[in-house]
Amino acid sequence: MDLDVSTDILMQDGDIVASTETQGQQSVSNTEISFKTEPNVNEYAKAKPEPSGNLLGSPLKGGGLKRDNGIADWQPKSNQVIPRPPKFPPLPYASSQTGLVYDVRMRFHVETVSIEDDIHPEDPRRIHAIFESFVGAGLAWEKGNSGPSNDYYMGRIDARKVTKEEVCLVHTEEHWNWIQALSAVPMEDLEELEQHPGTKMDSVYLSNMTPYCAALSAGGAIEACRAIMLGKVKNVFAVIRPPGHHAEREDAKGFCFFDNVSIATKVCQREFGERCRKILILDWDVHHGNGIQQANYDDPNVLYISLHLHERGRFYPEHSYRDKRGPYGDHLHCGDGAGLGKNVNIPWSKKGMGDADYVYAFQQVVMPIAIEFDPDLVIIAAGFDAAKGDMLGGCMVTPAGYAHMTHMLMSLAQGRVAVCLEGGYNLDSIARSATAVARTLMGEPPERLQELHPSITAVDDVKLVVRQQSRFWSSLYPRDISARLAGSLHGERMHDVVRRWQATTLWDEYEMSSLFVYKEQLSKAFENQVLATPNYTEARPLLVILHDPPEMIASPDPRTGKVELHNTWLTDIVKTYIDWAVKHDFAVIDVNLPKHVSDAEDSQIHQPEDSMEYRTREATQLLTYLWGNYIELNDSTHVFLMGSNTGHGAIINFIKSNEERAQEQLTTAISFVKDVPLQSCRSATNDQFAQWYYASSLVFVEEDHNFFWLGDLTRKPKKRFGKVQKSPTGTISEMLIEHKEAVFNLLTAETADWRAARPHIDDEEMATARMPPISNFAPSPRPGNFPALNPTSMPPVGTFLSPNGTTARSPRGGSPLPPVGNFAPSPKPRSSRSPAR
Ligand code: Q9C
Ligand code: ZN
């Protein structure tokens, strides 16, 4: 191949098609890579000023196409002690060049109808901005702008057009054909073009030059990777566009046409075989690379790791592939078949991630996995749209952050790193970020990081990924537990175990038992959800407590994260309230609001809490059900509702939609509010309503609650928020301890009248109401309002009888009825401990 190395390495728009077209075609068949550098280096050494910051001074460079370690020129001189020439070139990596793919012709893909002030973000100037920045930083050579060329600069590698056959390693032939056809579509038709009948294009613009530019972009990525594998360069930066990582098997999408990186991956695997079997694709574009994931999903030799903004599936590409099946970028997508475990999504749930968050993810997930994978080549799908200043990404990564990520990745694959541009839309941000990356590739250490503290959400997001990926990677801890639970271990969620234990204890101490609650979907989490003292229908005060499950405090094993029972404590402050209430002759209904309701078939994987909205809705329904079916039908003299967090929301919701019933029947609503919104009671039709709520409530609000710092601190809270009291910072349990005296005093005061005129309690009668706790976990006899059923039609299940053979009272205190209409596998009647008298 005869190349004139002294000519301008930067092709001008005019000579493009003629020169590079043919050169490009040559490189397809010929593995030669051309390095266009100026031959005369001695002159340069004299003429060029010292690059700033070069502490060692400018070394003499060998001229010509390659860096020269002086070995070839070494000549023994006759009267000297002859040192042995080294067998291998010293510092082979440090002394070889970084490659650069840049071809101005990739600027030809432009939006056809350009609306003046609405320039498309995927702007042709993107690649030029990066190249100019390289030149300005002294990393790349440009005729007229940077003195004589020498191999101190990045070595230029020609882009060329990808072939159909290469594209079809990733895309369908139809996709290739559709892209090719664009060059002949009249401009005015391009806008309305569909890629698939009836499907609008998803975030792409088209021009007649699109096929050409997309082909150069993919070809550029290929040549970049090949140059490394051929030993021409140590690493490479491919400044290419249009980007590729959203392009799917048969879809252009998200400004992308061909999946450049995946095509380069498959070409290298095929061409270099065992030398380039395992490839790591690290995608730090702010968007998920749905195309790359799809193209490599079942390939065990391609590890795809993507860090991206996900916003729980609400960030682009929200769902993809025309079948619209999923939030493909979530952490649960880990690959398929032989490729299982070779897909790692690190989805940020919130915008605004910065250097510390990315570095944290690298340290916790990316590098441990990458080192264990041990790739032969690293390709970075390098979008710079997570950069500070990018209008699409909303993240904060600085050039130093990108440099650090690059630096870490350079420890892999013997330094074989190919950086391929993807997105990134702020011209200034991408230029500065890419330059920092290129400097790092060339051997400069990264700048110091300014931001060192990862955000809480980032830590949470990363933890989720670690747990998920720990199934596949032995360097990740803590291990995911679901694999251990699968099979015959009979794993049970602790909240179910604990609630059963509570039910047992409350039965033993107060003969509290389960009230039937109709549930459409049955789950263990509902078992024993509502427990009542046997006297809950009687003419006495009733305290209804809606609370979160008790809190666990654990000190896990530092290495495995294993939580052992002997290092785990259960705090159940609600019990204190029940104890007090029972001792003071209150009837109690205790309602447990589980934080997560598993499906009937519990998959035993880690579950986040159900959303606050969902839990509040569920709790409201439950309270409404209890009120209608139990509370208002009994003879209670007073009704107190007490709720913490979700319970508070449920109480207010109930009150608001049952204004009259509440005002008539409810004595006091007591709330503990920590990390849920403080609800207010106001009525459109009744001015007195807020007044009534104020008089009938006691609301403890944690002092850090934003209610206090959002509002005007100098003013008292509005009456409609109830009788608000500030509570010192702490957990809900701590709040419950802190204010128990206040609550007990209130309960005592409010029931003083009844206490004074206390009726005699018939012990005999009470005993008849006793029954063992009953599981709430089974099909109900019939949906609907339980008490509305004809009691005699209830199936006579054995344990419905109390141990002494009598039957319990119905909720209304009427005809005998199996207690709480429960169903199926209930605990065995306890003969010895049962309270038969
Ligand atoms: N509602 C890359 O960064 N946004 N592509 C479309 C439509 C598309 C980004 C928003 C963003 C594509 C390579
Ligand atoms: Zn992007």
The protein residue whose alpha carbon is closest to atom 13 in ligand 1 is: 423
Closest ligand 1 atom to residue 285 Cα is 3
The protein residue whose alpha carbon is closest to atom 11 in ligand 1 is: 254
Q: d(Cα 655, Cα 643) in Å, to the nearest integer? A: 13
Q: Tell me the one-letter amino acid at 556.
A: P
pLDDT tens digits, one per residue of 496-519:
899 999 999 999 999 999 998 887
Q: pLDDT band for 149, please (50, 70, 90 cuts).
A: confident
Q: Is the CB of 387 under 6 A from ligand 1?
A: no
pLDDT at 115: 61
Question: For a substitution probing ligand 1, which of 111, 217, 284, 316 has the most ligand atoms within 8 Å of its CB?
Answer: 316
The structure tokens listed for 760 are 């005699």
Average pLDDT of the residues of the chain: 82
Q: Tell me the one-letter amino acid at 476.
A: L
pLDDT at 447: 97
pLDDT tens digits, one per residue of 412-464:
999 999 999 999 999 999 999 999 999 999 999 999 999 899 999 999 999 99
Task: Report CA(254)–ligand 1 centroid distance (Å).
Answer: 5
In this predicted structure, the answer to whether residue 406 has a pLDDT above a threshold of 70 is yes
Q: Is the CB of 416 under 6 A from ligand 1?
A: no
Residues 6+ apart with CB under 8 A from 622: 517, 529, 530, 591, 593, 650
Phi, psi dihedrals of residue 427, rounded to the nearest 5°: -55, -40
| Exposed / middle / buried, residue 49 (Cβ in 10 Å: 0-12, 13-18, 19+) | exposed
Cα 175 to its chain centre, rounded Å, is 32
Residue 304's closest CA among 362, 366, 229?
Answer: 366
Q: Is the CB of 259 under 6 A from ligand 1?
A: no
Q: Is the CB of 423 under 6 A from ligand 1?
A: yes
The protein residue whose alpha carbon is closest to atom 6 in ligand 1 is: 203
Q: Is the CB of 329 under 6 A from ligand 1?
A: no
Q: Is the CB of 241 under 6 A from ligand 1?
A: no
Q: Is the CB of 254 under 6 A from ligand 1?
A: yes
Share of the chain above pLDDT 90, in %: 58
Task: Report CA(438)–ligand 1 centroid distance (Å).
Answer: 25
pLDDT tens digits, one per residue of 661-674:
999 999 999 999 99
Q: pLDDT band for 111, please (50, 70, 90 cuts).
A: confident
In this predicted structure, the answer to whether residue 598 has a pLDDT above a threshold of 80 is no
Bigger pLDDT: 292 vs 573? 292
Share of the chain above pLDDT 70, in %: 77
pLDDT at 442: 97
Mean pLDDT score, 23-45: 40
| Exposed / middle / buried, residue 118 (Cβ in 10 Å: 0-12, 13-18, 19+) | exposed
pLDDT at 65: 38
Q: Is the CB of 385 under 6 A from ligand 1?
A: yes
In this predicted structure, the answer to whether residue 201 has a pLDDT above a threshold of 90 is no
Task: Report CA(317)–ligand 2 centroid distance (Å).
Answer: 9
Of all ligands present, the nearest one to the C-alpha of 318 is 1
Q: Which of 109, 175, 246, 705 is catalytic?
A: 246
Task: Report CA(175)–ligand 1 centroid distance (Å).
Answer: 20
pLDDT at 113: 64
pLDDT tens digits, one per residue of 338-374:
999 999 999 999 999 999 999 999 999 999 999 999 9
The structure tokens listed for 833 are 């401990």
Closest ligand 1 atom to residue 383 Cα is 3
In this predicted structure, the answer to whether residue 240 has a pLDDT above a threshold of 60 is yes
Residue 803's closest CA among 825, 781, 774?
Answer: 774
Q: d(Cα 152, Cα 140) in Å, to the nearest integer? A: 9
Which of 73-82, 300-309, 365-374 is the least confident region?
73-82
Q: d(Cα 283, Cα 241) in Å, to the nearest integer? A: 16
Q: Is the CB of 256 under 6 A from ligand 1?
A: yes
pLDDT at 75: 57
Task: Report CA(268)–ligand 2 centroid distance (Å).
Answer: 24
Q: d(Cα 480, Cα 747) in Å, to the nearest integer? A: 47
**Model pTM score:** 0.66
In this predicted structure, the answer to whether residue 409 has a pLDDT above a threshold of 80 is yes
Closest ligand 1 atom to residue 425 Cα is 3
In this predicted structure, the answer to whether residue 657 has a pLDDT above a threshold of 50 is yes
The protein residue whose alpha carbon is closest to atom 9 in ligand 1 is: 254
The protein residue whose alpha carbon is closest to atom 5 in ligand 1 is: 254
Task: Report CA(17)–ligand 2 centroid distance (Å).
Answer: 29
Q: pLDDT band for 708, please (50, 70, 90 cuts).
A: confident
Q: Is the CB of 376 under 6 A from ligand 1?
A: no
pLDDT at 224: 98
pLDDT at 192: 85
In this predicted structure, the answer to whether residue 611 has a pLDDT above a threshold of 80 is yes
pLDDT at 375: 98
Mean pLDDT score, 89-105: 92
The protein residue whose alpha carbon is closest to atom 12 in ligand 1 is: 254
The structure tokens listed for 113 are 């109808």
Residue 672's closest CA among 650, 655, 648, 705?
Answer: 648
CA angle (192, 198, 203) in 5-degree steps? 55
Q: Is the CB of 291 under 6 A from ligand 1?
A: no
pLDDT at 627: 95
Q: pLDDT band for 486, please (50, 70, 90 cuts).
A: low
| 3-state DSSP assignment of residue 700 | strand
In this predicted structure, the answer to whether residue 196 has a pLDDT above a threshold of 80 is yes
The protein residue whose alpha carbon is closest to atom 2 in ligand 1 is: 423
Q: Is the CB of 511 under 6 A from ligand 1?
A: no
Query: What separation, in Å, do the N-terminal and C-terminal C-alpha atoms of the chain show?
Result: 106
Q: pLDDT band for 152, please (50, 70, 90 cuts).
A: confident
pLDDT at 114: 58
pLDDT at 686: 82
Mean pLDDT score, 681-707: 89
Q: d(Cα 417, Cα 415) in Å, to the nearest integer? A: 6
In this predicted structure, the answer to whether residue 522 has a pLDDT above a threshold of 70 is no
pLDDT at 4: 40
Bigger pLDDT: 22 vs 658? 658
Residues 6+ apart with CB under 8 A from 486: 604
Closest ligand 1 atom to residue 254 Cα is 12
The protein residue whose alpha carbon is closest to atom 8 in ligand 1 is: 254
Of all ligands present, the nearest one to the C-alpha of 255 is 1
Active site residue 246: yes
pLDDT at 717: 76
pLDDT at 487: 65
Closest ligand 1 atom to residue 246 Cα is 13
pLDDT at 488: 67
Q: Which helix (H) or strand (E) element contains residue 724?
A: strand 724-727
Q: d(Cα 245, Cα 316) in Å, to the nearest integer? A: 12
Q: Is the CB of 243 under 6 A from ligand 1?
A: yes
Count of CA atoms in the C-beta half-sphere (13 A) of 328? 26
Q: Which residues pair with 282 in a beta bridge?
A: 305, 380
Q: Is the dihedral of CA 624, 625, 631, 634 positive or negative?
A: positive
In this predicted structure, the answer to whether residue 24 has a pLDDT above a threshold of 70 is no
Q: Which residues pair with 532 in a beta bridge?
A: 513, 589
Bigger pLDDT: 494 vs 377? 377
Q: d(Cα 470, Cα 364) in Å, to the nearest integer? A: 11
Task: Report CA(3)–ligand 1 centroid distance (Å).
Answer: 40
Question: For a substitution probing ligand 1, which of 123, 248, 255, 319 has the most ligand atoms within 8 Å of its CB?
Answer: 255
Residue 822's closest CA among 767, 776, 759, 765?
Answer: 776
pLDDT tens digits, one per residue of 260-279:
999 999 999 999 999 999 99
In this predicted structure, the answer to whether residue 811 has a pLDDT above a threshold of 80 is no
Which of 116-125, 297-306, 440-449, 808-817 is the least confident region?
808-817
In this predicted structure, the answer to whether residue 705 has a pLDDT above a threshold of 90 is no
Bigger pLDDT: 547 vs 803? 547
Q: Rg of the chain's alpha carbons, rounded to an integer?
A: 36
Mean pLDDT score, 653-659: 94
Q: pLDDT band for 393, please (50, 70, 90 cuts).
A: very high
Q: pLDDT band for 521, please (50, 70, 90 cuts).
A: confident
Beta strands in 253-319 (DSSP E): 279-283, 302-309
